[in-house]
């Protein structure tokens, strides 16, 4: 089980295997899970021009209060594409990526 939290501009947080990654700061990035087979990964990024990415089953990727922010969530389900995928973004010019079935 991994957890990574970082604060500051241009910061990055990475966590794998039941990982939780949180990055706060401009141009920051949070990545949880290294592959789509990782289970329960959470990535949260809070800032302008930031990115949150979560890979695995039961994953959640969240980016809040960011302009030009990106959120990515990838995983699998009964059709081997997705399981409980949730990707949402509350920012201007946001990019949301949901890969797989609903």
The per-residue pLDDT for range 14-23, each reduced to its tens digit, is 766 667 777 7
When the pLDDT of each residue in the chain is averaged and rounded to a whole number, the result is: 60
Rank 4-8, 71-75, 93-97 by mean pLDDT and report only the highest. 4-8
DSSP letter at 25 equals S
Residue with the bigger pLDDT between 27 and 65: it is 27
This prediction's pTM: 0.55
Closest CA to 53 of 39, 66, 71: 71
pLDDT digits (tens, 9 = 90+) for 53-83: 766 666 666 655 555 556 666 553 322 223 3
User: Over 60: is that where the pLDDT of 29 sits?
Assistant: yes
Sequence ranges of the domains in the chain: 3-97
pLDDT band for position 101 (cuts 50, 70, 90) = very low
Each residue of 45-66: b (16+ CB within 10 Å) or e?
A: bbbbbbbbbbbbbbbbbbbbeb
How long, in residues, is the chain?
102
Site of tokens 């295997």: 17
């Amino acid at each position: 089980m991994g957890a990574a939290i970082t604060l500051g501009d241009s910061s990055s947080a990475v966590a794998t295997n039941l990982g939780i990654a949180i990055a706060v700061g401009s141009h920051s990035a949070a990545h949880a899970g290294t592959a789509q087979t990782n289970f329960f990964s959470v990535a949260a990024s809070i800032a302008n021009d930031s990115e949150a990415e979560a890979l695995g089953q039961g994953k959640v990727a969240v980016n809040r209060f960011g302009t030009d922010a990106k959120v990515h969530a990838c995983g699998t389900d009964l059709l081997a594409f997705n399981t409980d995928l949730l990707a949402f973004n509350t920012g201007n010019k946001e990019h949301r990526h949901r890969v797989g079935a609903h």
